[in-house]
């Protein structure tokens, strides 16, 4: 066996962080001038410290700093000699712009997008599918303005930050993220998207916006969504109708429709397609799309992919620290969210490289318990027991 495979000389955390090129961090620091007022805590040390907190699931800044303090003998592998003080880290979280971490995330995505993407998606013949949705993280009202109606019991309303995300269905990571107060409507996120022609985008009915749909149709950007129950429409042509067949399942109706809205006080009619689908459990779904060429069954399959982003949000919230925050300012909260996204992306990259069959949750748990262990990470993730025994058993190491 190769010597590097037996004893890499770097702890697992250091091997994870090696996936982030040093030049990428320097370029981001120069772009945002983020090291100017933080001589004692350069961007790289700040990023490494926060990623340590993310991977070790620290619920507070004190816990993070004391955890780093316990690792001081091994911190040289991470590029610094001593753990940063809690006050220094707290000030940096509040004052160093979260945009520098957003830049690092976007650059990492550009670097690894080709290696983590899968050109095939079961049941689909398209190759550019995006999924959008949002997830709200509850906060106290003194951090972000309270959301919802005043409480009848006089208690203060909870604030919240909403994470709007666009996910690439073929890579399993978020391509575009926008953080807003929870009171901002989901439809505002559509205005920030820049999609190339022939892209497909899928979302739930909370995003329905006929003006945006019309704009996409003109630019050959295709969408699939569910139709609101109270939507007013006019049927132009019935392409398929199996509603009268006994116990019919799957696509039961396919129609061409028009819907109306006002543009500068002038009525506008938008041509769409309405597909009615009956699932195996008897549940009926009504989809709308501006693509008139793909089959009705493809429309249903595309919408089914929307659940991938729900699973992504669940994966992030369950495996990374987002219940408690390491600062009480908006900047600190957004910084932590972007560090979580960076960690999730790095794990997707490493999981792809290792070709492991472990679940994401199991992989994260194993890594969390061995952050400072000296073992080659790819073989460790692929076969944990064998890799560990080879490190600690000279006989196995020589085979």
Provide the pLDDT for residue 104. 95
CB 206 within 8 A of CB 228: no
Give the residue extent of every domain in the chain: 3-101+327-397
Residue 278, both tokens: 């009956």
Provide the pLDDT for residue 226. 92
Residue with the two structure tokens 């009480």:
328
CB 316 within 8 A of CB 25: no
Count Cβ neighbours within 10 Å for each residue of 42-73 and write b for 16 or more, e otherwise.
Answer: bbbbbbbbbbbbbbbebeebebbbebbeebee
Q: From CA 238, how far away is CA 142, in angstroms rounded?
A: 54
Cα angle vertex 308, ends 303, 310, to 5°? 105
CB 177 within 8 A of CB 164: yes
Tens digit of pLDDT per residue, the chain (399 long)? Answer: 344 444 567 888 888 999 999 999 999 999 999 888 777 788 999 999 999 999 989 888 888 888 888 777 677 777 777 888 889 899 999 889 999 999 999 999 989 888 887 655 666 777 788 999 888 877 654 444 444 445 555 555 555 788 888 888 888 888 888 888 777 777 888 888 888 888 899 999 888 888 888 989 999 999 999 998 888 889 999 998 888 887 788 889 999 999 888 877 788 888 999 999 998 888 899 999 999 988 899 999 999 888 888 888 888 888 888 877 888 888 888 899 999 999 999 999 998 888 888 888 888 998 888 888 888 888 888 877 777 777 666 555 555
Helix (H) or strand (E) holding 223: strand 222-226
């Amino acid at each position: 066996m190769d010597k590097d495979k037996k004893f890499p000389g770097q702890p697992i955390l250091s091997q994870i962080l090696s996936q982030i090129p040093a030049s990428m961090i320097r370029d981001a620091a120069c772009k945002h001038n983020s090291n100017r007022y933080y001589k004692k805590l350069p961007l790289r040390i700040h990023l490494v410290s926060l990623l340590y907190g993310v991977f070790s699931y620290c619920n507070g800044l004190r816990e993070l700093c004391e955890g780093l303090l316990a690792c001081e003998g091994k911190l040289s592998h991470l590029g610094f000699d001593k753990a940063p003080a809690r006050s220094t880290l707290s000030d940096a979280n509040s004052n160093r712009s979260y945009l520098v971490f957003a830049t690092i995330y976007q650059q990492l995505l550009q670097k690894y997008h080709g290696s983590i993407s899968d050109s095939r998606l079961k049941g689909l013949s398209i190759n550019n599918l995006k999924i959008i949705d949002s997830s709200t993280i509850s906060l106290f009202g003194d951090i972000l303005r309270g959301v919802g109606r005043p409480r009848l019991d006089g208690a203060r309303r909870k604030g919240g930050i909403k994470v709007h995300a666009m996910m690439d269905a073929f890579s399993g990571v978020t391509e575009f993220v926008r953080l807003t107060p929870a009171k901002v409507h989901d439809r505002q996120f559509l205005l920030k998207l820049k999609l190339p022609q022939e892209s497909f985008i899928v979302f739930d009915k909370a995003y329905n916006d006929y003006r945006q749909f019309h704009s996409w149709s003109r630019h050959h950007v295709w969408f699939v969504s569910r139709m609101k129950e109270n939507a007013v429409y006019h049927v132009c042509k019935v392409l398929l109708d199996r509603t009268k067949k006994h116990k019919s399942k799957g696509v039961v109706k396919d129609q061409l429709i028009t819907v109306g809205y006002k543009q500068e006080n002038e009525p506008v009619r938008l041509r769409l397609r309405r597909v009615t689908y009956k699932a195996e459990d008897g549940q009926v779904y009504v989809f709308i799309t501006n693509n008139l060429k793909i089959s009705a069954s493809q429309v249903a399959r595309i919408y089914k992919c929307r659940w991938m982003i729900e699973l992504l949000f669940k994966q992030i919230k369950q495996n990374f620290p987002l219940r408690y925050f390491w600062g009480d300012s908006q900047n600190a909260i957004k910084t932590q969210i972007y560090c979580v996204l960076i960690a999730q992306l790095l794990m997707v990259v490493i999981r792809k490289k290792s070709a492991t069959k472990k679940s994401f949750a199991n992989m994260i748990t194993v890594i969390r318990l061995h952050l400072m262990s000296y073992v080659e990470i790819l073989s460790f993730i692929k076969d944990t027991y064998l890799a560990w025994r080879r490190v600690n058993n000279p006989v196995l190491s020589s085979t």
